[in-house]
Amino acid sequence: MGKTDEYQYDYLDDNLRFADQVNGALFAGRQVVKPQELEEADAQLVFLGKEAGRRKNFRAVADRARIWRGRLIHILAIENQSFVDYHMVLRNMLTESLSYQRQWRQKKRAHERARDLRRGTDEFLSGMTRQEKFMPVITLVVYCGTEHPWDGARSLHELVEIDEELKGYVTNYRLNLYECHEHDTFDEYRTGLRQFFEVVRYSQDKEKLREIMEKNRAAYSRMDSETRELLEVVAGVRIGEETATMENGEKKFNMCKAFVDMKLEGIEEGSRKRLVNMVCKKLLKNKPASVIADELEEELSEIEKVTEAQKQAGSYDVEQICRVLTDMRRAATS
């Protein structure tokens, strides 16, 4: 698990934020899940089996799962992605299937210890009674990528090649995917998740972000340490210690001040790197600047600056090209 994921998981370990994430993503902000109703889930209930130890692409999410409204109701498992995992549908299918299999094994062992199923019956062979039910597992995938919107599959049907007449016989599985790039506002959130998603969503639109911050100055001028750290790691935003003030013994950060003082260099730098990276990929395919500008929906003049910097750099190294761009900008303003 990378540093970004660690921050996201720690951030959602708080029941208030966990409930806010679920309510915002699944219930459009309706306060269906209450923080006080969330309980720690048994680590055995969200289970990846032996695959978890062998494959780095699989991550157990049990320590961030919660049981809602007591037993046999819901497990709410939050799994964050800062990059597009094109086999996420298969990951979730396996995770949830193994979770149900684990629940069945627990029931089976309990009956074996109690010896309460009559040998030779359907219930004995099944390892459970006809009336027993399993606790449903709900997996919510939250995409926080800053490189580009989610472009992976959202259902099993999108991953399989199958004739239309047979499609109805292939069981489909759908992701519960929250993609912040598909939202223009985040009023459904009541914690720092709102500011987090707003910054991620508009990290490449400085004027829009400025407008949002002005409308919600109270929240952006009193940002908690955890949200500030999450923004620094995920969105590349720098909010310096000089913006901090103490409030009731807790440190608060003024992102508005950082923005006005031009301390928020991470957004511009991250945006520039993303653009250079995308342009380089297209240059390697021998595409002209006019085509690249059209495909990326960018001004031709901006694309031409990148292509010129690439020629001066003499390589496709993003960091090196960005340094040339900085030198070009300084020369133009001197």
Asked if 114 and 201 sit in the same domain, the reply is no
Side-chain-side CA neighbours of residue 130 (13 Å): 2
207 within a domain of the structure (yes/no):
yes
Domain count, the chain: 3
Asked if 172 and 47 sit in the same domain, the reply is yes
Amino acid 34: pLDDT? 93
163 within a domain of the structure (yes/no):
yes
Of 127, 160, 182, the one marking the end of a domain is 182
Asked if 62 and 159 sit in the same domain, the reply is yes
Side-chain-side CA neighbours of residue 320 (13 Å): 11
Asked if 116 and 208 sit in the same domain, the reply is no
Amino acid 61: pLDDT? 40
Asked if 27 and 112 sit in the same domain, the reply is yes
Amino acid 152: pLDDT? 93
**Phi then psi for 166, rounded to 5 degrees?**
-100, -10
41 within a domain of the structure (yes/no):
yes
Global pTM reads 0.71
Asked if 329 and 234 sit in the same domain, the reply is no
- What range defines the domain where residue 231 resides? 193-263
188 within a domain of the structure (yes/no):
no
22 within a domain of the structure (yes/no):
yes
Burial of 16 (0-12, 13-18, 19+ CB in 10 A): middle
Burial of 19 (0-12, 13-18, 19+ CB in 10 A): buried
Amino acid 30: pLDDT? 96
Q: What is the pLDDT along the chain (334 residues), one digit of tens a residue?
A: 445 555 566 788 899 999 999 999 999 999 999 999 998 877 666 554 444 444 343 343 434 678 887 543 455 666 667 778 899 999 889 988 988 999 999 999 999 999 999 999 999 999 999 999 998 888 888 988 877 889 999 999 999 998 989 999 999 999 999 999 999 999 999 999 999 999 989 877 878 888 999 899 999 999 999 998 888 877 777 788 888 889 888 899 888 877 765 445 555 666 778 889 899 999 999 999 999 999 888 889 889 999 999 999 999 998 899 889 888 877 776 5
Of 263, 281, 310, the one marking the end of a domain is 263
Amino acid 209: pLDDT? 86
Amino acid 274: pLDDT? 82
Asked if 35 and 127 sit in the same domain, the reply is yes
Of 121, 149, 182, the one marking the end of a domain is 182
Phi-psi region of 291 (alpha: psi -120 to 50; beta: other; left: phi over 0): alpha
Three-state secondary structure of the chain: CCHHHHHHHHHCCCHHHHHHHHHHHHCCCCCCCCHHHEEECCCCCCCCCCHHHHCCCCCCCHHHEEEECCCCCEEEEEEEECCCCCCHHHHHHHHHHHHHHHHHHHHHHHHHHHCCCCCCCHHHHHCCCCCCCCCCEEEEEEECCCCCCCCCCCEHHHCCCCCHHHHCCCCCCECEEEEHHHCCCCCCCCCCHHHHHHHHHCCCCHHHHHHHHHHCHHHHCCEEHHHHHHHHHHCCCCCCHHHEEEECCEEEECHHHHHHCCCCHHHHHHHHHHHHHHHHHHHCCCCCHHHHHHHHCCCHHHHHHHHHHHHHHCCCCHHHHHHHHHHHHHHHHC
